[in-house]
């Protein structure tokens, strides 16, 4: 075991303690679809800040560690940066992503699991957004399985727009789908379309089987608009995403 893996396992134990303190009722289904050895790309939906910990939680049931592709800003932090580098996660710069994909391909060549959030940003609608092609591109470039994952309930703990809640006992569902194997001659766009369909089906299943319900009308914010919730529909969520990005990119006087 490398020093980085020891750091990773210590961090995983600390998160497991946090999950117990929060009284999370975690359900994992489909972990058998994750390979116990060899490379694969894991592609998950993205609704909350802690999604990566829950995808990693499912992989640890199979004795695997996931090297996640994550925003470079997380690596720039003096607190999280050293930990992310020690655990051999992969920094992604929005404007110069080629180096990140070279690093991800090297990880796959070394037999690692690489974790990707192909929506690129958290979904404010809590439904699966259009996907970036990187996850499919990685799978095709190395002829490795592309494994769809759905996490549901993490947004109730912490997500964008200041939504967070530390009330104990929340349910958390993690579903791992059957691997998608790139077909001969399949394009990145075609595999991305298959991935979107698989992720959407998993999210639908996670919502359908989720054991918690809103306690009152004010608590309906975490349900999608088409499930009786007050989350914004996809077109409104996309406008909110654009507005948030514009605020980030505004020049400082």
Task: Determine the pLDDT at residue 62.
Answer: 95
Domain count within the chain: 1
Please tell me the distance from the alpha carbon of residue 183 to that of residue 86, in angstroms, as a whole number. 35
* 173-198 as b/e: b if 16+ CB within 10 A: bbbbbebbebeeeeebeebbebbbeb
pLDDT at 253 over 60: no
CATH number at residue 69: 3.40.1130
Residues 4-22: tens digit of each pLDDT: 688 999 999 999 999 999 9
Structural domain boundaries enclosing 197: 3-249
Q: For residue range 74-107, list pLDDT tens digits in order.
A: 888 887 888 888 899 998 986 666 889 999 999 9
Residue 73, number of CB atoms within 10 A of its CB: 14
The whole-angstrom separation of Cα 160 and Cα 104 is: 27
pTM above 0.85, yes or no: yes
Most confident of 11-20, 128-137, 238-247: 128-137
pLDDT at 71: 85
**How high is the pLDDT of residue 240?**
93
Q: Label residue 214 by pLDDT band (50, 70, 90).
A: very high
- Number of other CB atoms surrounding residue 7 within 10 Å: 17
CB 185 within 8 A of CB 78: no
Q: What is the pLDDT of residue 128?
A: 98
Q: Take residue 34 and report the two structure tokens written for it.
A: 């994750």
Q: What is the pLDDT of residue 95?
A: 62
Place of tokens 């994909």: 101
- Measured between alpha carbons, how far apart are the two ends of the chain, in Å? 49
Q: Coil, helix or strand for 140?
A: helix
Q: Could you give the CA distance from residue 202 to residue 199 in angstroms, rounded to a whole number? A: 5
Strands annotated E in the chain: 25-29, 40-44, 66-71, 90-92, 113-116, 146-152, 171-176
Q: Is the pLDDT of residue 252 over 80?
A: no
Q: What is the mean pLDDT of residues 45-67?
A: 95
pLDDT at 4: 64
């Amino acid at each position: 075991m490398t020093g980085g893996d020891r750091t990773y396992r210590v961090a995983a134990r600390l998160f497991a303690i946090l999950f117990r303190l929060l009284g999370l009722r975690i359900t994992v289904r489909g972990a058998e679809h994750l390979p116990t050895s060899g490379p694969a790309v894991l592609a998950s939906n993205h609704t909350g800040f802690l999604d990566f910990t829950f995808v990693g939680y499912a992989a640890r049931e199979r004795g695997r560690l996931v090297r996640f592709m994550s925003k470079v800003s997380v690596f720039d932090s003096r607190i999280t940066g050293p930990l992310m580098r020690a655990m051999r996660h992969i920094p992604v710069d929005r404007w110069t992503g080629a180096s990140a994909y070279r690093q991800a391909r090297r990880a796959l060549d070394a037999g690692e699991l690489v974790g990707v959030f192909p929506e690129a940003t958290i979904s404010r609608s809590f439904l699966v957004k259009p996907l970036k092609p990187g996850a499919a591109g990685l799978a095709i470039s190395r002829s490795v399985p592309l494994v769809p994952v759905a996490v549901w309930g993490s947004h109730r703990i912490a997500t964008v727009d200041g939504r967070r809640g530390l009330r104990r006992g929340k349910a958390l569902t993690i579903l791992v789908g059957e691997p998608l194997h790139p077909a001969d001659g399949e394009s990145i766009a075609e595999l991305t379309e298959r991935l979107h369909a698989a992720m959407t089906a998993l999210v639908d299943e996670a919502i359908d089987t989720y054991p918690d319900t809103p306690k009152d009308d004010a608590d309906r914010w975490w349900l999608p608009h088409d499930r009786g919730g007050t989350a914004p529909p996809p077109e409104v969520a996309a406008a909110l995403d654009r507005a948030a990005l514009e605020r980030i990119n505004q020049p400082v006087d």
